[in-house]
Amino acid sequence: MTVRRLLPGPLVIASHNEGKVSEISALLGSYGIEPVSAGELGLPEPEETGTTFAENAALKALAAARGSGMPALADDSGLCVDALGGAPGVYTADWAEAGLREGGPGRDWYLAMGKVEGKLAELGPDAPRTAHFVCMLALGWPDGHVDLFEGRVAGSLTWPPRGKLGFGYDPVFVPAGRTQTFAEIAPTEKHAISHRAAAFLKLVEAAL
């Protein structure tokens, strides 16, 4: 199936996360794309009911495209740990949400990183510590057409967490070939090698 081309003009960024919207806007601004956030348009956030990154990215992109009548871009991402059978995977954000459900302060990334480490420790000291981040981008259209672009970055998990930069699981993820965690690497450098960068490169090559 051929990828549908995105022409200069408005593109809905199907996310209510300000950080994601500004990062995506910066990446696409130079192609004549005019990013509009789903929040700005008052579009509701659909429930992420899929069991794969592709399903969740597609459902978010299509909901925004159908709701706005414009093409829409969504991203779904997460951390997959080999020894845990790919977990937390699509549930990466949920593993940090114990606080939310209990009426607590919201997502707690240290709790989430600790959960991953606890499960690895249960497997014993010989369990492989390899992992990868996945970023799935979905470009959806009001007629239901959707194109997917996947990026990955391989690495391994370290403990205890190190570094203050980045977000989410960055302090425990050491990309392959490096010794520093994503939270110790300058953002510009992280953005050059990240799963999100790899997915964007595919989108730019195929759709722009």
Q: Are 165 and 187 in contact (CB under 8 A)?
A: yes
Whether 94 sits among the annotated catalytic residues: the reply is no
- One-character DSSP codes across 160-177: S---SSSSTTGGGEEETT
Q: Which residue has the tokens 């990466």?
A: 92
Residues 88-127 that bind ligand IMP (CB under 6 A): 92-93
φ/ψ (deg, to 5) at 191: -65, -20
Euclidean distance between CA atoms 26 and 122, whole angstroms: 42
Q: Least CB distance from residue 130 to ligand IMP, whole Å?
A: 16
Binding-site size, ligand IMP (CB under 6 A): 14
Nearer to ligand IMP, 71 or 78 (CB): 78
Binding flag, residue 197, ligand IMP (CB under 6 A):
no
Q: Which residue is nearest to ligand IMP (CB)?
A: 168
Q: Are 79 and 152 in contact (CB under 8 A)?
A: no
Residues 152-191 that bind ligand IMP (CB under 6 A): 166-170, 182
Q: Which of 75, 76, 147, 170 is catalytic?
A: 76
Nearer to ligand IMP, 7 or 201 (CB): 201
Euclidean distance between CA atoms 51 and 116, whole angstroms: 19
Query: Which residues fall within 8 angstroms of residue 141, CB to CB, at 6 or more apart?
Result: 4, 65, 71
Q: Least CB distance from residue 115 to ligand IMP, whole Å?
A: 12
Residues 17-76 that bind ligand IMP (CB under 6 A): 76
Q: Return the SS3 of 134.
A: strand
Q: Least CB distance from residue 42 to ligand IMP, whole Å?
A: 20
Binding site residues, ligand IMP, CB under 6 A:
76-79, 92-93, 133, 166-170, 182, 194
